[in-house]
Amino acid sequence: MKENPGGSPAPLIWSRPVTRRRQSPLERDDIVRAAVELADEGGTGALTMAAVAKRLGPFTPMALYRHVLSKDGLIDLMLDSVTAEIPLPDEPGGDWRADLRAVATESWAMVKRHLWYAQLAPTRPPLGPHLMRRTEFVLGVLVGQGATVGEAMTYAALLDRHVLGSAQQEAEELAMRRRYGLHTAEQLGEAITAARELAAAGGRHPLLTQWMGSPSGATMDEQFELSLAFLIDGIATRLPGTGRRHH
| pLDDT in single tens digits along all 247 residues of the chain | 455 555 556 678 998 877 666 666 889 999 999 999 999 999 999 999 999 999 998 899 999 999 999 999 999 999 999 999 999 998 898 899 999 999 999 999 999 999 999 999 999 999 999 999 999 999 999 999 999 999 999 999 999 999 999 999 988 888 888 888 888 888 888 888 888 999 999 898 999 999 888 888 888 899 999 999 999 999 999 998 665 555 4
In a domain, 228, yes or no: yes
Give the CA dihedral 217, 220, 225, 230, nearest 10 degrees: 70
- Domain containing 24 — which CATH number? 1.10.10.60
**Residue 125 host element (H or E):** none
In a domain, 119, yes or no: yes
Let me know whether 147 and 73 are in one domain. Answer: no
Neighbour-count burial of 147, counting CB atoms closer than 10 A to its CB (0-12 exposed, 13-18 middle, 19+ buried): buried
* Domain interval for residue 156: 96-179+217-242
Q: Model-level pTM?
A: 0.86
* Alpha-helical regions (H) of the chain: 28-42, 49-56, 61-68, 71-83, 96-113, 116-120, 129-143, 149-179, 185-200, 206-213, 220-236
Distance, in Å, from the CA atom of 116 to the CA atom of 47, rounded to the nearest integer, reads: 10
In a domain, 127, yes or no: yes
Let me know whether 102 and 35 are in one domain. Answer: no
Number of domains in the chain: 2
Let me know whether 74 and 106 are in one domain. Answer: no
In a domain, 136, yes or no: yes
Q: What are phi and psi of 209, to 5 degrees?
A: -65, -40
In a domain, 200, yes or no: no
Q: Check residue 11 and report its DSSP letter.
A: P
Let me know whether 170 and 231 are in one domain. Answer: yes
